[in-house]
Each structure stands twice: as C-alpha cells, then as structure tokens.
Amino acid sequence: MTRTTGGLFEQLVDEDRLDEAARVTVRGKRRRADVATFLFRRESELRELRAALVDARWRHGAFDLLFLHDPKPRVIARASVLDRVVHTAVARLVEAVLERSLSDADYACRTGRGTHRALLRILELVRRHAWFVHLDVRSYFPSIRIELVRSLLRRRIRDERFLQVVDRILESGRGLYDDRHVRAFARLDPDWPPPGEGLPIGAYTSQVLAAHVVPLGLDSHVARELRVPGYVRYVDDLFLFGDSRSALRAARDDVGRYLDERLGLRLKRPGARPRSCSGRLDALGHLVTRSGIEPLPRHARRMGARAARYVRGTGPAIPAEGWAGALGSVLCV
C-alpha cells in the first residue's frame, strides 16, 4: 500500500517557506517590472497572500502567454509574481513528498541531478551497451490529463486543503491549448492533444508534475517489468539501452502501450528504430558519442543569446551553475 503524506498545508502557509519561495521566484528576474513592483512591497504582499491561502480566498489569476521560438515554437504561460510564489512553494513540497519514490533514472528538476548528470549517465550507457532507442512523448505538456494528475497526487497526499490549492493551479491552465491561435503557433495537430487538458509550459508546478508525478509508474514499469539494461528519463525524453535490437523494439512497443493505456499519452515516433551506440546520439541539446559530449551548435547559440540579452538588460542572469555545466559539457570531449 502506498504511503500518503499529510500536514502539507501548514507547511505551505509557513511564513518562512513563503518567504523562501518568493526569494527563489524572483532570483535572476529583479529587472522585470512586475518583479520590481512586488519587491517594493514584498512584506505586505506576502502577508496578504498567506491570509488568502489560510482563508481559502486565494484564486489563481490568468496567465500571460508568450509566443517564442526556442528554437521550435513554444507557448510559455507566465503567471503573476504572487501566483508564481505559490507555484514554487507547492512544487517544492510535492518534490519533497516524492523524492524517496523517484527512480534513479529520473534526472529532471531534482537537486544534485539535472541535464549534465543525465548526459554523463547517457555517456556511460553508450560506452557500455551496443544499442539505444530514443523515445519522446507527443505534445507532452498539452496532452497531460488533469484528472489523472489529481488521482496520482491523491495516492500520495491526504491533505485536502493542500490538494485544494493544487486543484486551483491545475484548473488555471485547463483549456489553455484549446485556443486555435495557440494550437496553430505551437503546431499542434488537429486531433491531438484532446481539448480541456494540459499543463501550462512555464509553470514550476507543471515541471514537477510532468517530470515526477505523471511518469512515476512508467519508470517503475521499465525497471521492474521490462528490465531494460539501461534507462535514462529527462521529463518526456526516454533513452533505453541494451545489447539486443529485438529486445529494445519490444520495450519500445511496451512503453507505447503503457503510455496509451495507463496515462492517455502517445509517443511522437511509435516506430523509432534502435540505433548503434557506436554512432551519434542527440540528447538534451548535446551530441553524445563514445568519445564524449559536446553541445549542439543550436545549444551554444542559445547560451550566447541569453548572455547578450542579459548584457542589454532585457533578460535574466544565467546562474553560475549554468555556465559551469555548459563548459563542463565541452570539456568532456
């Protein structure tokens, strides 16, 4: 029987926790007008936010939609600063609840892990095995079923007041991808994702729910039922490694069935072919070979563009660990 956790709402409305969530939310964004306005009256804003949460008056506001090419078209949903504070506090509590249950193959949105740890693990598996297959989920965030997320969270959390806050966050993004302009820009297919579903890309809670809550059962299935020799997952990017092409094809088909039947999701390329580990693997914006890891040109250009925006005062700072990670990737070659 799965163990459930209570007492989360009291932690959510703790003054120190909200203050820390605010600090994380504004980090690297102090030049933005909305953040500067929030910081000017930070104490009173957080005091009112806490009161609204305690009295069950808090309601999530509308998202501002940003239409970006990064490099492919993305619709980013940006909530108000106060709503982002709630997202941060909620997401961190959910992460803490799930941490012990998470698979070693899960690398996204986890302290001490991340992109570069995932790449190093992929490099290790490329050198160890003969074949790999790369799978990713079709229109992942827009196609996540809200009721499924609710159900999965209730298996782990028994605090109804906390879950009510999560429900309001989930409902705030419902139908965001139904708008025809959004679908056209994001190049979503007419028949997929289904209407009335999805988690907004750009919200911290969406990252945590999509990275850890929705795929938690999948990770266990791949490890315990399929017994794939090597497995790395970064949100909806799945890398399976082995020494038998036929076994990897069977695992690919099984993963596709699991996604469809258990999670209501679809693979982008259901017939993705296993490829030799002696070749090249395009993974997480990098090129991995048995010789090492190097950033793909588009990844290097994005880092340069981010630096240029910061110098011009039109973008946030890049954290030191971001630069260190990028340089580390180059030095792995």
Mean pLDDT of 254-260: 98
Give me the pLDDT at residue 135, please: 98
Give residue 258's pLDDT: 98
Pairwise pLDDT comparison (313 vs 58), residue with the higher score: 58
Report residue 223 as tokens.
């490890």
DSSP string, 103-149: -TTB-TT-TT-SHHHHHHHHHHHHHH-SEEEEEEBTTHHHH--HHHH
Q: What is the mean pLDDT of residues 252-273?
A: 97
Put the strands of the sheet holding 230-234 in their side by side order.
230-234, 237-242, 131-136, 275-276
* Confidence check: pLDDT of 172 > 90: yes
Does pLDDT of 240 surpass 50? yes
- Whether residue 324 lies inside any domain: the answer is no
Count of alpha carbons within 13 angstroms of residue 255, beta-carbon side: 33
Arithmetic mean of pLDDT, 224-243 = 97
pLDDT at site 332: 34
Tell me, what's the pLDDT at 72?
85
Q: What percent of the chain has pLDDT over 90?
A: 80
pLDDT of residue 317 exceeding 90, the answer is no
Instruction: Pick the range with the lowest mean pLDDT from 19-23, 174-178, 250-254.
Output: 174-178
| Structure-token pair, residue 224 | 């315990």
- For the four alpha carbons of 114, 116, 120 and 122, in that order, the dihedral sign comes to positive
In a domain, 235, yes or no: yes
Q: What's the CA gap between 224 and 165, in Å, rounded?
A: 34
277 pLDDT higher than 80 = yes
Determine the Cα–Cα distance for residues 102 and 109; give it in Å rounded to an integer.
11
Among the residue ranges 108-112, 116-120, 204-208, 303-307, the one predicted with the least confidence is 303-307
* Listed residue (93, 10, 1) closest to 54, CA to CA: 10
In sequence order, what are the beta bridge partners of 231? Answer: 240
Within-domain flag for 332 = no
Query: Average of pLDDT values for 216-225?
Result: 94
- Quick one: which of 284, 283, 257 has its CA closest to 270? 257
Helix (H) or strand (E) holding 288: strand 286-289
Residue 11 pLDDT exceeds 60: yes
The domain total for the chain is 1
| 293 in any annotated domain | no
Q: What is the pLDDT of residue 103?
A: 94
User: Are the C-beta atoms of residues 137 and 265 closer than 8 Å to each other?
Assistant: yes
The interaxial angle of helices 81-98 and 160-172, nearest 10 deg, is: 130
- Residue 34 resides in a domain: yes
Closest alpha carbon to 211 in 236, 182, 232: 236
DSSP string across 303-324: HHHHHHHHHHTSSPPPPHHHHH
Is 321 among the domain residues? no
d(CA 90, CA 149): 14
Determine, yes or no, domain membership for 51.
yes
Q: Output the pLDDT for position 316.
A: 59
List for the chain the helix, strand, coil content (%; round to 5).
55, 15, 30
Check whether 312 has a pLDDT greater than 90. Answer: no
Q: Please give the mean pLDDT across all residues of the chain.
A: 90
Task: Classify strands 237-242 and 230-234 as parallel, antiparallel or unpaired.
Answer: antiparallel
CA nearest 113: which of 295, 292, 284, 307? Answer: 284
| Range 6-31 average pLDDT | 94
Q: Which two tokens stand for residue 245?
A: 């092409």
Taking residues 198-222, what's their average pLDDT?
A: 96
Q: How many C-beta atoms lie closer than 10 Å to residue 180's C-beta?
A: 9
* 134 in any annotated domain: yes
Other C-beta atoms closer than 10 Å to the C-beta of 136 total 15
Question: Cα(80)–Cα(49) distance, rounded to whole angstroms?
Answer: 12
In the predicted structure, residue 96 carries a pLDDT above the cut 50: yes
Domain span at residue 29? 8-284
Strand order in the sheet with 281-283: 281-283, 286-289, 292-295
Instruction: Give the pLDDT confidence score for residue 296 in this predicted structure.
Output: 80
Average pLDDT of span 53-79: 93
Whole-angstrom distance, CA of residue 94 vs CA of residue 144: 18
